[in-house]
Structure 1
């Protein structure tokens, strides 16, 4: 059951996949997404007891991590490939099923974000999803062109709810992997060395970067100077959730860099530097993000020393 709810949709592997009829595509529902969240909550509770978890799970442990990483990769990248055009299918098929979900389709968006899964989910929540051409880098951190056109698919309360559910799942996936890494680190301290052969699998930096970029883009948008200083409580909680996702992604990236003895790629440092500074400036306008600003600066300074040394970031 756990394995089923961690299964990610497959990425299209060739030109034939994008021509598959909608009925043959992997379909999910808001109920299934909530079941995935509950499954991950259980996994996180169990994973806190590292020694018992390892003994009980044995061979299944590695498989669950791999599935978790694959699901994170899907959330991080979407399903686009280089050179693909507007004929792409929606990244996820999640139509309304229950009466309240159909009612939610008639209600306006409560987040009003044009980035990340808040931009992609409307494509998945209609009977015939569309997908406009998007950036060939990280699909979910960039505005889809459909949001710029007059014939775009409208966002709704339901599409926002689906997007939020995806980010709740993202939070728990990262939490589970962080618990695994922390347990392995404690074990290394006990025995006096890091056993790389038995160190838990961790996401590639590119996956973590995609999640970081989504959080940066959405929170900067929601907290920027183009928005009101008064942010609704629901949106405040979403900002806090996304910032927690970003911090955990940064912690896992630090773990990967240390274990593999590598340094951040220069191009990534430059891009991240520019975007995170805009994010922090946007966050500092809001009192409810004060503690988040402090913790974000701390982890950023560890991975990218000197990045935030300017007077305005001290």
Structure 2
């Protein structure tokens, strides 16, 4: 049975893209599973993918190659979609009772009764196996590195119950691609990869704090912890600090990888976009918070494009 007050099954969820094909054209029997996988909310896999592409492009600069490895970039894309789906399904299984108490999430497939926990678990295992097949296409070091991220993924759903900063743990998981993208090329980790990883963690804390601003009132009532609650009226300054440190660390990675002018221009464009986001937080509303959160996809693409073009212009022409 749907949770009390849950939206009508098949209705678009509040943070889904309006008019997405999952809600309008997908077979009705598949819609709950596509929503478990967050297919109609693509920003999640997009943000998971970006550190992979940043690292691939930075590795091309460091290796004096004209292009990031396009095969790797395609595998990262597939892996990001599949593993974000698996991780979101696991998160929803763990959080199904809490989600039933939050207005934005009570219409999700599990709390609304559209999918059973058992069916969701089977779906998650299937997705994880596809993710494993993708991971097995890389070198041995990268395979073990990718497997190592599973411990962080496993503990993340429980963090909002025991720590004021679950976004930090999310950052550790969502930024793992910065390590994998580098090791896929070199078969090892070097200082630029570590700096890029730390930067991506801070970026994740920043943008997910913006996302958490949507739910701050419900989170207080239910007892869910978040960085938005922790920072409180200082959230704008805290997010700005995270973004500033993120840009500085990426600058260090670009410098160590011997990035050129275009790489620095890409970083400057990324920094400018983050600054614009912070400037809009003075009078944030749930609608604006979601918009700013989603804006991190084009922001991250500016950096990825700058790094990739730097490699092309310097080593491909």
Output the TM-score relative to the length of structure 2: 0.29
Structure number with the higher helix fraction is 2
Using CA pairs below 8 Å that are at least 6 residues apart, which structure has the higher relative contact order? 2
Output the TM-score relative to the length of structure 1: 0.29
